[in-house]
Amino acid sequence: MNVTEPIRQYIEGKVSKLPKFYDSIQSIEVILDHEADQATVEIVVLARRKHTFVAHHRDDDMYACVDQCLDKITQQLRRFKDKVRDRQGPSHTEVQSQS
């Protein structure tokens, strides 16, 4: 599938915001496919320590697919970041505020 410049810019703009949700991202791969009036988007995010996050969505509209995939990936990254933060214990500022 040939990717048009507007869709490329749209995806790059959206994907560039992912590191603010989890800063240990090593690579982001976006796979686009279009078959029989259905667009399919798959986003694969590789993070440090071999953590992989995957989201895919199928819809009539390519932009809607990208948005849905990014919502799913964002949710996965937030959950993972919260899980890692909870395992590490309270931060220095949290300990000071409790005293």
Residue 81 lies in a domain: yes
Q: What is the pLDDT of residue 58?
A: 95
Confidence of residue 97 (pLDDT cuts 50, 70, 90): low
pLDDT of 91 above 90: no
Q: What is the pLDDT of residue 81?
A: 87
Confidence of residue 83 (pLDDT cuts 50, 70, 90): confident
Buried residues in 1-35 as b, exposed as e (16+ CB within 10 A): eeeeeeeeeebeebbeebeebbeebeebebebeee
Residue 93 lies in a domain: no
Tokens representing 76? 């996965």
Please name the helix (run of DSSP H) or strand (run of DSSP E) that holds residue 45, with its range, or none: strand 38-47
pLDDT of 23 above 90: no
The Cα–Cα gap between 6 and 55 comes to 22
Residue 26 lies in a domain: yes
Please name the helix (run of DSSP H) or strand (run of DSSP E) that holds residue 32, with its range, or none: strand 25-35
Domains held by the chain: number: 1
**CATH number of residue 49's parent domain:** 3.30.160.100
Residue 31 lies in a domain: yes
Q: Domain limits at 80?
A: 5-86
Q: Is the pTM of this model over 0.85?
A: no
Residue 94 lies in a domain: no
